[in-house]
Amino acid sequence: MNFKNIAISGDTGTGKTTLAKKLAKKLGWQHLSTGEYFRKWHGEHGIPLEKTGEIPEEVDKEIDFGYQTKMQDEEHIIFESRLSGWLSKNFPFVFRIICITDFEVAMERVSKRDRISIEEAKEKSQERSKALQEKFENLYGVKNFLDPEYFNLVVDTTNMDPLETLEFVLDALPPEAP
């Protein structure tokens, strides 16, 4: 079976966005990120990211079901979002990757990326993760959307830089994958 798409999930600071961008570039595939869309939406509506529970349900569902349709109907796309692995769990033609990392390492990355203190990174990240967990449980009844059981590959990025992570994933892709 050939995989026609790849889904990459992970929590804040795990390297999922960096991996998705690098993998898309390496494979010559399109990269779609719900995170980018939602950051833009939050900015346009003046709602901080950690208040993600304030996004209307219909906006979430429209985006999520749009992603599922694209996963089924199109190919050569890297889908990157916290929920992409769960959304594609019943699609054998989607190779699902989850990025994990040590929490302290993740918060150091977020602190550096967002130019905030580690304490602020922890506070915002935990608040946002809690809001997303509650939202996805209310919307879809899923208690742990990042459960490794939904994924074909678990990548621990704790001790890997972005290039090492990319090489690890490229080596781990099944031979029938592009």
Tens digit of pLDDT for each residue in 101-138?
A: 999 999 999 999 999 999 999 999 998 888 889 989 99
Q: Is residue 93 part of a domain?
A: yes
Position 71 in a domain? yes
Asked, for residue 94, whether it belongs to a domain, the answer is yes
12 lies in some domain? yes
Residues 36-90 have pLDDT tens digits of 777 777 778 787 766 666 677 888 888 888 889 999 999 999 999 999 999 999 9
pLDDT of amino acid 71: 92
Determine the pLDDT at residue 176.
65
Q: The domain spanning residue 89 has which CATH number?
A: 3.40.50.300
**How many domains is the chain partitioned into structurally?**
1
Residues in contact with 128: Cβ distance below 8 Å, sequence separation at least 6, in sequence order: 12, 49, 50, 52
Would residue 18 count as lying in a domain?
yes
Q: Is position 177 within any domain?
A: no
The answer to pTM > 0.85 is yes
Asked whether residue 176 is assigned to any structural domain, the reply reads no
Identify the domain containing residue 89 by its residue range: 5-170
Those residues whose C-beta lies under 8 Å from the C-beta of residue 149, and which sit 6 or more positions away, are none
